[in-house]
């Protein structure tokens, strides 16, 4: 028997039933404020992931030893953000019900809201760790409340004060930072204090959302709103390994926009970050 041509992310070819982690794509970029294109991230990453090894010399772990299922991309409708979020929520709910951990590939950052809706229902005591260049704390963006620029405010609507820890933030309106002071914990520019947060949240359920634009644009130019002054790949890798000491009940990586990645280097970075995140979660 010959096998069908099914392209999964590197090393994520386990069956659903035997998997602990479920990778899936949410190819949505309709609220992107500046340069769209993140809808192509997951499929591009699957193809390009084969340029990587499954083995990580950083962690001395191999994707081949993990039970990861790649569910492909959700088929999301165009033009109705609530319907898109409901589809992401429903898929995430199914994964959680089967006692597996969802790892979503965005898409723009708003996709996080759909996943958090599901995760917070299962884990009402949920905390969120958020790496990003942007605060994403606006209450609305040009009158729209569901936007990639408001996503962490919408997450706050669900989980409330003192539950969101942001790192690497270097862009936002003054009012976002002021609002944030009363409601979330924001570490600007870098990962200082991350180890202490991880210590404090031991045993708590944590959702980890990683906007790849936390990286410096010299490392990761292929994104919709590049923001100079970001962290290096090695700083991010170390931070991911620190975060992985938490009880991670769900994760996402988002905002790769392959159309702005002429060299392919940003996609390679995103693939390597996902490999290391999966290995760290194991």
Window of 18-26, 58-66, 68-76, 209-217 that interacts with Mn ion by CB under 5 A: 209-217
Structure tokens at 247: 């009880």
Query: How many Cβ atoms are within 10 Å of 79's Cβ, its own excluded?
Result: 7
Give the nearer residue to Mn ion in terms of CB position, either 244 or 257: 257
Window of 7-15, 52-60, 124-132, 200-208 that interacts with Mn ion by CB under 5 A: 124-132
Structure tokens at 15: 């069956």
Give the nearer residue to Mn ion in terms of CB position, either 69 or 167: 167
Report, in Å, the least distance between residue 171 CB and Mn ion.
8
Residues 6 or more apart in contact with residue 98 via CB below 8 angstroms: 16
Q: How far is residue 243's CA from residue 142's CA, in Å, rounded to a whole number?
A: 34
Query: How many Cβ atoms are within 10 Å of 2's Cβ, its own excluded?
Result: 4
Report, in Å, the least distance between residue 214 CB and Mn ion.
7
Residue 177: asked if its preceding bond is cis (omega within 30°), the reply is no
Query: How many Cβ atoms are within 10 Å of 226's Cβ, its own excluded?
Result: 21
Question: How big is the site for Mn ion, counted in residues (CB under 5 A)?
Answer: 5
The radius of gyration of the chain from alpha carbons, rounded to an integer in Å, stands at 17
Window of 59-67, 87-95, 132-140, 230-238 that interacts with Mn ion by CB under 5 A: 132-140
Window of 14-22, 24-32, 42-50, 205-213 that interacts with Mn ion by CB under 5 A: 205-213
Report, in Å, the least distance between residue 17 CB and Mn ion.
36
Question: Binding to Mn ion (CB under 5 A): which residues in 52-111?
Answer: none
The answer to whether residue 211 forms part of the interface with Mn ion (CB under 5 A) is yes
Rounded to the nearest 10 degrees, the angle between the axes of helix 81-97 and helix 111-122 is 40
Give the nearer residue to Mn ion in terms of CB position, either 133 or 231: 133
Q: How far is residue 104's CA from residue 205's CA, in Å, rounded to a whole number?
A: 17
Window of 35-43, 44-52, 211-219, 236-244 that interacts with Mn ion by CB under 5 A: 211-219
Give the nearer residue to Mn ion in terms of CB position, either 133 or 271: 133
Give the nearer residue to Mn ion in terms of CB position, either 100 or 130: 130
**From residue 163 to residue 202, what is the string marking binding to Mn ion with x (rule CB under 5 A)?**
----------------------------------------
Which of 29, 48, 108, 213 lies at the binding interface for Mn ion (CB under 5 A)? 213
Window of 60-68, 82-90, 203-211, 242-250 that interacts with Mn ion by CB under 5 A: 203-211
Give the nearer residue to Mn ion in terms of CB position, either 70 or 227: 227
Closest by CA to 282, choosing from 241, 222, 252, is 241
Q: Can you give the binding site for Mn ion, defined by CB under 5 A?
A: 132-134, 211, 213
């Amino acid at each position: 028997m010959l096998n069908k041509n099914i392209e999964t992310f590197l090393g994520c070819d386990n069956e659903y039933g035997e998997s602990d982690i479920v990778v899936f794509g949410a190819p949505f970029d309709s609220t992107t404020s500046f340069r769209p294109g993140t809808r192509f991230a997951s499929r591009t990453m699957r193809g390009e992931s084969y340029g990587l090894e499954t083995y990580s010399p950083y962690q001395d772990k191999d994707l081949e030893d993990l039970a990861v299922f790649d569910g492909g991309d959700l088929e999301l409708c165009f033009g109705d953000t609530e319907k898109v979020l409901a589809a992401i929520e429903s898929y995430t709910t199914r994964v959680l019900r089967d006692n597996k951990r969802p790892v979503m590939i965005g898409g723009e950052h708003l996709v996080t809201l759909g996943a958090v809706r599901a995760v917070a229902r299962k884990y009402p005591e949920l905390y969120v760790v958020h790496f990003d260049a942007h605060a994403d704390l606006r209450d609305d963006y040009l009158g729209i409340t569901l936007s990639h620029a408001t996503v962490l405010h919408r997450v706050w609507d669900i989980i409330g004060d003192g539950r969101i820890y942001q790192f690497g933030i270097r862009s936002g309106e003054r009012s976002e930072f002021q609002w944030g002071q009363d409601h979330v914990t924001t570490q600007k520019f870098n990962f200082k204090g991350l180890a202490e947060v991880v210590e404090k949240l031991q045993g708590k359920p944590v959702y980890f959302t990683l906007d790849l634009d936390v990286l410096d644009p010299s490392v990761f130019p292929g994104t919709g709103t590049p923001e100079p002054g970001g962290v290096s790949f090695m700083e991010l890798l170390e931070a991911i390994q620190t975060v992985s000491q938490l009880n991670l009940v769900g994760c996402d990586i988002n905002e790769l926009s392959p159309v702005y990645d002429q060299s392919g280097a940003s996609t390679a970075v995103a693939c390597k970050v996902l490999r290391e995140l999966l290995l760290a979660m194991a």
